[in-house]
Structure 1
Amino acid sequence: MCGIALIVSGIRFHISSFISDSPRKSHKLLFTLDDLKASLRRRGPDSLGVKKVLLHHNVSAKNPITSVVEDDDDEVHELQSMMLCSGNTDNSGQCDNFSVGKPAAAELRFIGATLQLRGINPQVQPLVDSSGNVLVYNGEIFGGHNLASDCNDSEFLMQALGKCCSCGSCLTGECVQCGKSSIADVLSTIKGPWAIIYWQGSSNTLWFGRDAFGRRSLLVHWPTEDDPTFLLSSVSPVSPSQQESEYEAPNGMGCLSYWEELPCGIYHVYVNASNTNGHLVGEIKKYEFTNSMLNELIKWERTSIEPNSEDLQISRHEFSRRHDMHSPSLEAVPCELGSTQPAILTPAHILLNALKESVLRRTSLYTIYQAMISGIKQESFVPVAVLFSGGLDSMILAALLDQCLDPIYRISAKAGLKELKRVAPCRRWRLVEIDANLSDLVLETSHVMSLINPANTFMDLNIGIALWLASGGEGCLPVANGDENDDNHARIRYKSTARILLVGSGADEQCAGYGRHRTSYRRGSWLGLHEEMRLDMQRIWKRNLGRDDRCIADNGKEARFPFLDEDVIRVLLNIPLWEVANLDQPSGIGDKVILREVAKMLGLFEAAVLPKRAIQFGSRIARESNRKNFGSNRAANQASAGSVGIYKK
């Protein structure tokens, strides 16, 4: 994982083709470069690097001359003796009409802070290759490209992008002139979460973007007339003085609409100096993903939405049979999927297989870098934790993690401990109890407000605080007589060393777990339910994932979302909607019915009947916040606190 950022000055951007034409507010830049570095460093504590790309006017050609330099405490040093020239050259191969001493016409400053989880050699971002290409990458490649288990994602991607077409004759597909793949094709093929900023030096082109579901945060400040700076960043930094002055009153926050969530997609900026009166200009264009299968997932079209009477009759019969807690067929299903699996798989079996593969990809198919360099003994190293909200989704992830993770490892958990012990008695489960009083978290609350930005409601804040506190992994570990699995326990202070957190995001959106899904079903039947679920999935990047990634990553942890694996999404879309949810049944039974079947197959019978309880309520953060900001839960409900904005827009 990496915290990434880009600061661009001296280029006039044209962006009207894909953002609103309405007047855009300009706001003063409220943080310094050091503030930005500090915020990124919390996400990537292993290393921090800064590189500059300097663009100089070349009067003989429309393309500027570029040089890549290293930024060290704001003193510029040459990274290479070579100067990269995309304009005209004389017979000696030297760039004409150019003086090294001339001030740059434009500057692109790349910043990368790395939390290394993969590969055996330390990596410091930004990465720069011999062609002058610069990369900062925050992501994981779980499929689509063939990586060795000890290979670093960023290093692999740098090599793959360096082989891409740079002649500019085509931006997607195989180039008809050079026969090379396009950068858009390489990015569209990645299975897994990612955010990227990439400078292709040979073509003076900037590429940036987010994966199709927005699983990694990338914020953008679009240039305005008052503030022409173009910025990209994993996180919204806040200066200490701003925290002290603007965050004192929770109901009177200062305006922080400087940033926006970058919409998912691939963006391309070609920088040139032609017909611009000596100015460098760049037009920002957005491209669709070139992978047809990925585009089908983005559309989120389900094959079977509305059942006929025969479908419903079969479904009701199966529903009654499956929900008999003493059904022999349920008891015969093994926890470990293997040769005893039924020849004809039910939808729940198919989903269970896909989820297990998803968890396996996110926990086992790589070498954990930190354990190798720190000399931590394997038996005491905890590579993965499950972020619990106390419900069905987290229990499924924990049970699957037990099947996928090497038996020598222990797992940190937050809830459901008794049932997990029963299902996997040989696993040493660690229940880390994280207690906090909201009234004592004044500075922490201010900090979380900067993390959720540009999200700005009390619901966002409550969720953000719960995620930030839980992902920190610092609390109390129940122990008694040296046996941490003893229920009659004392508690000792403990901090989880796990750098990877499995999170259940995406389960409710895809399996009808929210109350609004039940409302949509009552109003519009099956089609209404499908449309509401599709809306949730198509806006999850904006409403949830960017915010959640920033709050979790601030603790130096990487969130991974098994329910949002591309193959899991595809499996769920191929299952008839009435097999995914049965909202004629009451809460705790009909919602997420397919996940409840999965839980039973894993032996989690108690978890299979748990009603939905959001993390802000399960952690009681919402109750404390409502009392603090509205006086009581009742007053908060009357004020619709979940949608009340904190910041002044």
Structure 2
Amino acid sequence: MCGIALIVSGVRIDISCLSLDSTCPPRKTEDLVFSVDDLKAALRRRGPDSLGSKKVLLQSDVSGQKNISSFVEDDGALELGEDIKKLHIVQSGNECDCVSLDNGMPVSLSYNAGVQGPSAELHFIGAILQLRGIYPLFQPLVDSYGNILVYNGEIFGGINIASDNSDTEFLMQALVKCCTCDSIPDLLSMIKGPWAIIYWQVTECSRTLWFGRDAFGRRSLLVHWPTEDDPTFMLSSVSPLSPIEKTSGSYWEELSCGIYSVHVEVSSSNQGLIGEVRRHEYTNSMLKELIKWERISIEPKPEDLHASQYKSSRKQHNVHSTPLEVSPYETGSSRFSFSMPAHSLLKALKESVFRRSSLYNIYQATVSDVRQEGYVPVAVLFSGGLDSMILAALLDQCLDPCYEIDLLNVSFDGQSAPDRLSAKAGLKELKRVAPSRRWKLVEVDAELSDLAFETSHVMSLIEPANTYMDLNIGIALWLAACGDGWLSDGNSDGNDGNLARVKYKSNARIVLVGSGADEQCAGYGRHRTSHRRGSWMELNKEMKLDMQRIWKRNLGRDDRCIADNGREARFPFLDEDVIRLLLNIPLWEVADLDQPSGIGDKKILREVAQLLGLHEAAVLPKRAIQFGSRIARESNRKNFGSNRAANQASAGSVRIDRKSNLS
């Protein structure tokens, strides 16, 4: 999928029932008005297979009957798509007439409009990067009742869907069967996988707008709630480029994870159109437990911790005494006494990667005229660190051997950046454990001083995030996901100092990303600080906080930066089954921060890496992309004069001065 948007004007939206973030500064937006064309341009940049829009015209009357008629029409031509017949939907009491029109002329029309009152417009925009289904699909989808759907997501489970079906078409059919308001939250709560949705529902007695995003926020959806100076209600997967320096605060907010509805009706006071925003709880019991993020076993007894640490020391000794070319996973790992939780997690992660890399029928159509050995369907955002090495090794086990795998790596310090060095070492280790796979390390080199235009663009992508840390991460992700770099000689053994490099741009549409690994397995420095300050209970509390705010701090921003390159980010560590499994594992088996860095942090993932034969990656310390790529260092020098000055100013949390940053 690719992106969705909505603009609602003429409906007074009541948000009094929502608990909005009171810490947001007052917004003055009179100088910043986005149009349908602005939103289309932002989505078009993502390189969709199709981009289209539909407009719903709502008209109330002043006859005292509270009637509303609606008219669905093309809002500009579908790009790479085809027109859908217009529909005239009349709502009067308990009756709903649907009258199709050919060539814009009514075939039949039985409606006494009465005296016309206030009107409103709803503009739906949908862009598709098609990854599933046999036939080309065009959004927005409109059915014969006048229901409209724009959807950005994947259904990996929870609802049975055939491999040759389109997620969007399948969901539309399921939504039409939802006869009551309660059944739509039930349906959306069942979906396993990332999603964001906007759905206009027309029933015999209701016109309701539904919107929302999955419980972990793996797909971006920004919202502009109406303000006194700008009553327009807007939703969008991404913010268009804007003169944002003119505003105080952000125009957009990250929509809180959840399912929302707006029932549109005629006001009893002035006959205008009004709608109150309601928030609905997810109803799936398993999903509700994951949202709570409650772990059963947090604090170990002395004997638990002693046994766990003894097994860890045995594994470290046995692994380091084993020749590196032998994989314990392949040769009988039981002799190394790896824990059952590590084996269970390895299985769950492999299934998660498989779900996210299965080649649906649409792929076969895509590569029909291309030599399969030259087609790369899936890439990995690759630092050579623990998380990306695990994803790459598992992808090798899940993807047909005929396909190549691109490893996307970005550096702001040429061949000297830590992530570039570890990526080259990681490539060498992957070739050892998977010698038959054709691996391509895509080296994306950048100079921050040469990225003035790109920096401005990424600022709009990360919005409403607004710190230098967000910008640094956003630029690094955006460039890496672009996949436009260099390949060294594929026959290199890793010592390629004098080998020729050739220009290369990845054509993968799916990128696997390691987000969620650090939050769930105690990979951050603040986790060690919490453990030192308050032991196991404080560590668990910090990890829970990270997981419950990951939608706001990380995932929306990351999804927007990666999707801007016409690629879809997929997060195997944030699969619902993986999250549930990790919560069922005792915390001391997941991490033991009494142990040194590179051993106790993300302990269970290090065991998984050992099971995969990734011995060198299993002991690598955590390194964030902004530091591993060295963009943080270059940003500190540019914006603060030096690393030392930046550290004194706590540069990572400093808000961006947009004017000076672009000068």
Distance 2:533 2:626 in 1: 28
Of the three residues 400, 409, 417, the one matched with 1:406 is: 400
TM-aligned CA distance change 1:287 to 1:637, over 3 Å: same
SS in 1 for 2:219: coil
Aligned ranges 1:368-379 → 2 under 5 Å: 368-369=362-363, 371-372=365-366, 375-379=369-373
Distance 2:644 2:368 in 1: 51
Offset at residue 479 of structure 1 (A): 2.1
Distance 2:3 2:95 in 1: 41
Q: Is contact 1:8–1:230 with CA below 8 Å preserved after alignment?
A: yes
Q: Is contact 2:175–2:184 with CA below 8 Å preserved after alignment?
A: yes
Residue 98 of structure 1 is matched in structure 2 by 113
Q: Is contact 1:14–1:282 with CA below 8 Å preserved after alignment?
A: yes
Residue 195 of structure 1 is matched in structure 2 by 196
SS in 1 for 2:91: coil
Q: Is contact 2:519–2:547 with CA below 8 Å preserved after alignment?
A: yes
Distance 2:579 2:397 in 1: 21
Aligned ranges 1:1-80 → 2 under 5 Å: 1-20=1-20, 24-28=26-30, 29-58=32-61, 59=63, 61-72=65-76, 80=85
Amino acid at match of 1:56: Q
Give the RMSD, CA atoms, in angstroms: 2.8
TM-aligned CA distance change 1:336 to 1:70, over 3 Å: farther
**Greater shift after overlay, 108-117 or 363-372?**
363-372
Residue 546 of structure 1 is matched in structure 2 by 556
Q: Is 2:247 aligned against 1:233?
A: no
Q: Is 2:260 aligned against 1:267?
A: yes
Q: Is contact 1:24–1:224 with CA below 8 Å preserved after alignment?
A: no
Q: Is contact 2:315–2:338 with CA below 8 Å preserved after alignment?
A: no
Deviations 1:196-232 (A, max 9, x none): 0000022200000010000000000000121100000
Deviations 1:315-369 (A, max 9, x none): 1211211222246799986546999999996110000000000000000162344
Residue 185 of structure 1 is matched in structure 2 by 186
Residue 380 of structure 1 is matched in structure 2 by 374
Q: Is contact 1:139–1:194 with CA below 8 Å preserved after alignment?
A: yes
**Greater shift after overlay, 375-384 or 610-619?**
375-384
Aligned ranges 1:552-591 → 2 under 5 Å: 552-591=562-601
Offset at residue 97 of structure 1 (A): 3.7
SS in 2 for 1:627: helix
Deviations 1:389-422 (A, max 9, x none): 3310000000000000000000011321111111
Residue 639 of structure 1 is matched in structure 2 by 649
Residue 257 of structure 1 is matched in structure 2 by 250
Amino acid at match of 1:362: R
Amino acid at match of 2:29: H
Aligned ranges 1:226-625 → 2 under 5 Å: 226-239=229-242, 242=243, 246=245, 255=248, 257-324=250-317, 325-326=319-320, 335=329, 346-364=340-358, 366-369=360-363, 371-372=365-366, 375-413=369-407, 414=409, 415=423, 416-479=426-489, 483=491, 487-488=495-496, 489-625=499-635
TM-aligned CA distance change 1:89 to 1:442, over 3 Å: same
Residue 149 of structure 2 is matched in structure 1 by 135
Q: Is contact 1:429–1:485 with CA below 8 Å preserved after alignment?
A: no
Q: Is contact 2:60–2:116 with CA below 8 Å preserved after alignment?
A: no
Distance 2:68 2:268 in 1: 13
Distance 2:173 2:349 in 1: 31
Offset at residue 476 of structure 1 (A): 0.6
Distance 2:97 2:521 in 1: 65
Offset at residue 98 of structure 1 (A): 1.3
SS in 2 for 1:546: helix
Distance 1:599 1:2 in 2: 32
Q: Is contact 2:157–2:193 with CA below 8 Å preserved after alignment?
A: yes
Offset at residue 314 of structure 1 (A): 1.3
Deviations 1:272-298 (A, max 9, x none): 004131111100000110001001000
Residue 135 of structure 2 is matched in structure 1 by 121
Distance 1:124 1:255 in 2: 37
TM score, norm. by length of structure 2? 0.89
Distance 1:70 1:289 in 2: 33
Q: Is contact 1:54–1:104 with CA below 8 Å preserved after alignment?
A: no
Q: Is contact 1:379–1:408 with CA below 8 Å preserved after alignment?
A: yes
Deviations 1:102-132 (A, max 9, x none): 6871111000111111111111111111111
Q: Is contact 1:3–1:138 with CA below 8 Å preserved after alignment?
A: yes
SS in 1 for 2:211: strand
Amino acid at match of 2:556: G
Q: Is 2:228 aligned against 1:221?
A: no
Q: Is contact 2:74–2:86 with CA below 8 Å preserved after alignment?
A: no
Size of the aligned set, in residue pairs, is 621
Amino acid at match of 1:141: I
Amino acid at match of 1:451: L
Residue 85 of structure 1 is matched in structure 2 by 90
Distance 2:185 2:241 in 1: 33
Q: Is contact 1:89–1:95 with CA below 8 Å preserved after alignment?
A: no
Distance 1:430 1:92 in 2: 58
Q: Is contact 1:261–1:454 with CA below 8 Å preserved after alignment?
A: yes
Offset at residue 375 of structure 1 (A): 2.3
Amino acid at match of 1:11: V
Residue 159 of structure 1 is matched in structure 2 by 173
SS in 1 for 2:646: helix
Which ranges of structure 1 fall in alignment gaps of 5 or more residues?
173-181, 247-252
Distance 1:512 1:461 in 2: 24
Offset at residue 66 of structure 1 (A): 1.6
Q: Is contact 1:112–1:126 with CA below 8 Å preserved after alignment?
A: yes
Q: Is contact 2:36–2:123 with CA below 8 Å preserved after alignment?
A: no
Residue 175 of structure 1 is matched in structure 2 by none
TM-aligned CA distance change 1:265 to 1:624, over 3 Å: same
Distance 1:539 1:135 in 2: 28
Distance 1:60 1:341 in 2: 81
Amino acid at match of 1:608: A
SS in 2 for 1:12: strand
Q: Is contact 2:73–2:86 with CA below 8 Å preserved after alignment?
A: no
Distance 2:587 2:8 in 1: 46
Distance 2:258 2:460 in 1: 25
Amino acid at match of 2:50: S
Amino acid at match of 2:166: N
SS in 2 for 1:123: coil
Amino acid at match of 1:191: K
Offset at residue 433 of structure 1 (A): 0.5
Q: Is 2:111 aligned against 1:111?
A: no
Deviations 1:231-286 (A, max 9, x none): 000001014xx38xx5xxxxxx8645100000000001100004131111100000
TM-aligned CA distance change 1:339 to 1:147, over 3 Å: farther
Q: Is contact 1:5–1:110 with CA below 8 Å preserved after alignment?
A: yes
Which ranges of structure 2 fall in alignment gaps of 5 or more residues?
99-108, 410-422
TM score, norm. by length of structure 1? 0.90
Q: Is contact 1:68–1:79 with CA below 8 Å preserved after alignment?
A: no
SS in 1 for 2:89: coil
Offset at residue 24 of structure 1 (A): 4.3
Q: Is contact 1:68–1:78 with CA below 8 Å preserved after alignment?
A: no
Distance 1:41 1:24 in 2: 31
Amino acid at match of 1:198: Y
**Greater shift after overlay, 362-371 or 118-127?**
362-371
Offset at residue 629 of structure 1 (A): 0.5
Offset at residue 436 of structure 1 (A): 0.7
Amino acid at match of 1:52: K
Distance 2:161 2:600 in 1: 41
Amino acid at match of 1:38: A
